[in-house]
Structure 1
Amino acid sequence: MTLTDTDLVYLRRCVELAREALDEGDEPFGSLLVDGAGDVRFEDRNRVKDGDETRHPELEIARWSAANLTAGERAEATVYTSGEHCPMCAAAHGWMGLGRIVYAVSSAQLAAWRSAWDLPDGPVLPLPINAVAPGVPVDGPAPELQDEIRRLHKRNAGRA
């Protein structure tokens, strides 16, 4: 599916959250949960700087949705994110029955950038979302945002 102008508005907010995370000393990732009516119900950014590597915004969305949405509301929701879900977050998304995922850059793109910058591989394989949660509708990447997100990750790589 082609990303819509509305999708890009939400993804740009995810990039803002990713920038905020980086400015606060975290890795540059940000995500939104948008309900079926188009209202942002929850947003978060990466919060791993204190040592809990599971503090991904996509996992926080899954947790928040469990406490605040019905199964029907979760199924109608869309998760927008600056980077494709890691396997941990994809599994949480699938277990919670959340709807569509739209991401700005893929795990494969991020892995290629990290390799080009001579950074070590992450501790988890960069699998595509549907390799972990095959029933989830997924759209992305958004070429319009790739350069901006690459710059954020390159800035983060310079801190490593």
Structure 2
Amino acid sequence: MKDEELAHLRRCVELAAQALEAGDEPFGSVLVGADGTALFEDRNRVGGGDHTRHPEFTIARWATEHLSPSQRAAATVYTSGEHCPMCSAAHGWVGLGRIVFVCSTRQLQEWLTELGVPPAPVRLLPIRDVLPDAQVEGPVPELVDEVRALHRRFRAGTHDRR
């Protein structure tokens, strides 16, 4: 993992912390162009009840409005957690490129089980179960503990709106 990639992932963790502070589940994502420039970023915004407001889904929408198909294919999505099935599908439908995540779906499921969180209404699946040919990298051990701590804080607080 290159230093600049770790910097993008650290930004994702910062965005996840911002989501937590706003009462949302702690997820954050950054879209980076082929030249390494951050093009767009967002955090989770599901606290109001719209569970489609994941940052990866928002990135897919933004990319279709602002980037050509070739620019989308050359871009990388950095994210604090592996895409859910909805976000994986959006990523594939708009033709985004590589995905790099801090924590995997498997790790998140283990953490949520440890914390006694009931299953989500949609089954969590690894990205490749939705996008078999996706270029995916992760988890990133250097930052996993930080993301886990954010999820523990969220579940321990009054932020859980499910």
TM-score bucket of the superposed structures, by smaller chain: over 0.9
Alignment of 1:103-118 (within 5 A): 103-118=101-116
CA drift of 1:5 comes to 2.0
Distance in 2 separating the partners of 1:4 and 1:93: 23
Task: Give 1:148's aligned residue.
Answer: 146
CA drift of 1:158 comes to 1.0
Alignment of 1:1-160 (within 5 A): 3-159=1-157, 160=160
Distance in 1 separating the partners of 2:113 and 2:7: 30
After TM superposition, the structure 1 stretch with the greater mean CA deviation from structure 2, 76-85 or 127-136, is 127-136
Deviations 1:96-119, CA, capped at 9 Å, x for gaps? 110000000001101000001111
**Alignment length, in residue pairs?**
158
Q: TM-score, normalised by structure 1?
A: 0.97
CA drift of 1:67 comes to 0.5
Q: TM-score, normalised by structure 2?
A: 0.95
Distance in 1 separating the partners of 2:39 and 2:2: 20
CA drift of 1:4 comes to 2.2
The Cα RMSD (Å) is: 0.7
Identity %: 58
CA drift of 1:14 comes to 0.1
2:18 aligned partner, one-letter code: E
Structure 2's unaligned 5+ residue stretches are none
Distance in 2 separating the partners of 1:124 and 1:6: 33
Distance in 2 separating the partners of 1:5 and 1:41: 18
CA drift of 1:84 comes to 0.2
CA drift of 1:46 comes to 0.2
After TM superposition, the structure 1 stretch with the greater mean CA deviation from structure 2, 42-51 or 5-14, is 5-14
1:54 aligned partner, one-letter code: T
